[in-house]
Amino acid sequence: MNRIKQAFKDRLWLGVIIVGLFAGLIGGGIALGINNLVQHHEEVTSTRVPAGSNKSGGTKVNKNKVDLNGEASQAYKSVQGAVVSVINKQKVQQSSGTLGIFGYGNSSNGSSSSDSSSDNKLETASEGSGVIYKKSGNSAYVVTNNHVVKGSNALQVILSNGKKVNADLVGADYATDLAVLKINAANVKTVASFGNSNSIVPGQDVLAIGSPMGSEYANTVTKGIISAKDRTLKAGTDGTLTSVIQTDTAINSGNSGGPLINMAGQVIGINSMKLASDTQGSSVEGIGFAIPSNEVVTIINQLIKNGKITRPSLGISMVDLSNVTSDQQQSVLKLPTSVSKGVVIMDVNSGSVADTAGLKKYDVITKLGDTQVTDAGSLKAALYKYKVGQNAKVTYYRDGQQHTATLHLTKSADTTSTDDSQQDNN
C-alpha cells in the first residue's frame, strides 16, 4: 500500500515538473515573440521617412568662433601684395604663304613659290612667381628663379592687383637659379623683407605664396613646416650642388620664384623646386625646396651691382669618375682601387688656373681645400666658396700617385649662361 502511495506521489511531482517546463517554454516563446514584434515595430518606425510639412527643416549661418586674424592670416596679408606672377615671353616662328604637303608653296604653274615670309610673334612660354623686395624711386625690384626667365625675349609681371607691367632682366645666375627683374614702381604698394635663414628650425610653420599652375591661381597660399634646414641639392641648371631648405608646404609648377615666409611675414626662402618621384619612379608628396634667404640676398646684391655673378674658374672640362668603367680606371687612369669618386680632367685650357698649377688631362681631382670631391657638382660647390684672388689647395691622382697643388684663383667666369655639352666645364 505504501509503495502505491509513493509511486503516486512521484508521478504527481513529475507531472508538476512537466507542466512547469511546458508553461515556461510557452511563456518564454510568447515573451520572445512579443519582444521581436516590439523590436520590429521600433525598427520600422525609426527608419520610415516621417510624413508632414518640411518647414521645420531650415537652418542659419552662425557667427564664426575661430580667430580670423590668426598668425598665418596676418603673415599672408603682410606680404601678399608683394607677390607677383612672372610671364616669360618668347618668339614663335610663324610663316605666311601657302605651303604644300612637302613644304613647297603652291602656285598656278606648279613651281615653288618664294613669296613665303617669316614673322616673329611673342607668346607666353611659361609662367612663374616672384616677390617684390625693394622700391626705390620710380623703380621696383623683383627676385625670382633663373629657370622662370630663361630663354625669354620679353618679360611681364602681373601685380597682386591684377595689373600687368613690363619687366627688364637686371641679371641672372644659373648656379643658384636666381634672377632679378626691374619694373615700374607706380603701382607697387607693398614690398617684402628678408628674414635670417640661419635662424630657422625644423618644425617651424611656414607659408608658400605664388601662382601654382600659372597666373590663373595667383596669390595662392599653402601652409606647412620646415622639414629640414640644410639639404644639399642641384638647385641650378649647371649641376652645382647648393644648400636648400626642405619644406612640406605644397609647391607646384608656377610656384617657382615665389616666397617661403615665416609667421612674421618675412621671406626666409625663394621656392625653387619639388621632388615628384624617387629614382625608382615612385611618386612622392610633400617634399619641396627653397633657396635660403641669406644666399638670396647675397646673389641679389651682386646682380644689382654687376648684372652677373663672378666666380672662380679652373679652366677645365671634366667628367665624373663614376662614368668611367672600372677597366679604364685601372688601365688608363691607373687609379688605386681605394679611389672610387672624383672628377677626371678631360681638357685643360691653355693659360688657365689649372694649367698654371700644372694639372693635366686624365688627372683625377678628389679634394679641393677641405672638401671631398665626389662629382662635378661637388667640385663646383667647393670652388664657388672661394673668391677670385684667393688660393685653394687641390688634391689629385696622376698615374696612380697622389699629388697636391696650389690653385691661384685669378681667373673668373660669370654664371649667366649654361653649357649643354655632355662634359662639365669650369
What are 145-200's pLDDT values in tens digits?
999 999 999 999 999 999 999 999 999 998 899 999 999 999 999 999 999 999 99
User: Does the domain at residues 316-409 carry the CATH identifier 3.40.718.10?
Assistant: no
Residue 420: predicted pLDDT? 39
What are 315-372's pLDDT values in tens digits?
999 999 999 999 999 999 999 999 999 999 999 999 999 999 999 999 999 999 999 9
Q: Grid cell 630663361 — which residue?
A: 150
Q: Grid cell 677670385 — which residue?
A: 388
Q: Among 18-27, 85-94, 293-302, where is mean pLDDT lowest?
A: 18-27
Mean pLDDT of the chain: 84
**CA 211 from centre of chain:** 13
Comparing 395 with 233, the larger pLDDT belongs to 395
Its pTM stands at 0.73
pLDDT grade for 108, boundaries at 50, 70 and 90? very low
- CB-based burial label for 51 (10 Å; 0-12, 13-18, 19+): exposed
SS3 390: coil
Name, in order, each residue with C-beta under 8 angstroms of 62's C-beta and a sequence gap of 6 or more: none
Stated as kind and residue range, the H or E segment containing 170 is strand 164-173
pLDDT at 417 over 60: no
Q: Which of 369, 344, 372 is nearest to 359 (CA)?
A: 344
Catalytic residues: 147, 177, 256
Q: Which of 239, 220, 231, 307 is nearest to 269 (CA)?
A: 231
Name, in order, each residue with C-beta under 8 angstroms of 268's C-beta and a sequence gap of 6 or more: 194, 195, 196, 197, 200, 206, 245, 260, 261, 262, 290, 292, 293
Distance, CA of 258 to CA of 256 (rounded, Å) = 6
- Topology of the domain covering 71-91+123-187: Thrombin, subunit H (2.40.10)
CB atoms within 10 A of CB 69: 8
Q: What is the CA radius of gyration of the chain?
A: 38
Distance, CA of 139 to CA of 168 (rounded, Å) = 11
Q: What are phi and psi of 16, to 5 degrees?
A: -60, -45
Look at strands 267-274 and 164-173 and give their pairing. Answer: unpaired
Amino acid identity at 300:
I
Distance, CA of 178 to CA of 236 (rounded, Å) = 8
Please give, one letter per residue, the 3-state secondary structure of 81-149.
Answer: CCEEEEEEEEEEEEEECCECCCCCECCCCCCCCCCCEEEEEEEEEEEEEEEEEEEECCEEEEEECHHHH
pLDDT at 224 over 70: yes
Amino acid identity at 384:
Y
Vertex 412 angle, CA 407 and 416, to 5°: 140
pLDDT grade for 2, boundaries at 50, 70 and 90? low
Asked if 380 and 426 touch (Cβ cutoff 8 Å), the reply is yes
Asked if 156 and 126 touch (Cβ cutoff 8 Å), the reply is no
**Domain 71-91+123-187 identical in fold to domain 316-409:** no
Distance, CA of 175 to CA of 53 (rounded, Å) = 71
SS3 218: coil
Name the percent of the chain lying above pLDDT 90. Answer: 59
Asked if 145 and 289 touch (Cβ cutoff 8 Å), the reply is no
Amino acid identity at 410:
T
Amino acid identity at 376:
A
Q: Grid cell 607668346 — which residue?
A: 123
Q: How far is CA 353 from CA 64, 388, 390, in A?
A: 67, 11, 12
- Topology of the domain covering 197-306: Thrombin, subunit H (2.40.10)
What are 116-149's pLDDT values in tens digits?
444 578 998 889 999 999 999 999 999 999 999 9
Cell of residue 354, nine digits: 689649372
Comparing 104 with 121, the larger pLDDT belongs to 121
Query: How is the chain split into domains, by residue range?
Result: 71-91+123-187, 197-306, 316-409
Residue 74: half-sphere exposure toward Cβ, Cα within 13 Å: 6
- CB-based burial label for 114 (10 Å; 0-12, 13-18, 19+): exposed
